[in-house]
Amino acid sequence: MPSKYRQSSSAGFMFIEIMVAIAIFSLGVVSIMQIFRLSLDRLQHLTNRIYANNVIENKISLAERVLRSQRKLPYDIENEERVIIGSKAVVFTDQLSVTKINDSLDLFKLDVALNWQEGTLPKRISRSTYIIDLRNDE
């Protein structure tokens, strides 16, 4: 006489099968979230780098203008710039170095380095350029 409480093995899912499926699904979701977080961090770094490039270009242009208009080396350019990027404030600190290469040509080498923090990691970008004063003294 068959028992009325007996079920066949193909009637449904067992508890262990459901738990394994949930574990695999959770592993996939956690992996996707980690990739997403990593992508956001990389996007933030690239955004900061774009702003840093703009700040460096502005410093170089300012140094050229000061040299050409005031005929002096631009040592007094502001060395810290605070920029709001998204909802975060990033402080860019620059180091400016001007070296006279040739007295007769008024040729100068300008080195600009920009430092900032991304979380706990220090970041740095630098650029060098040459400036020649083409203005004629009359």
C-alpha span between 85 and 40 (Å, rounded): 14
Direct distance between the N- and C-terminal alpha carbons of the chain, in angstroms, rounded to an integer: 121
Token representation of residue 98 = 């001007």
> Do the beta carbons of residue 92 and residue 55 sit within 8 Å?
yes
Global model pTM greater than 0.75: no
Residue ranges per domain, the chain? 15-132
Q: Which residue has the higher pLDDT, 116 or 12?
A: 116
**Cα gap 128→59, rounded to integer Å:** 11
Q: How confident is the model at residue 102 (pLDDT cuts 50, 70, 90)?
A: confident
* Mean pLDDT computed over every residue of the chain: 82
Instruction: Write out pLDDT tens, residues 55-96.
Output: 899 888 888 888 778 766 666 566 888 888 888 888 998 888
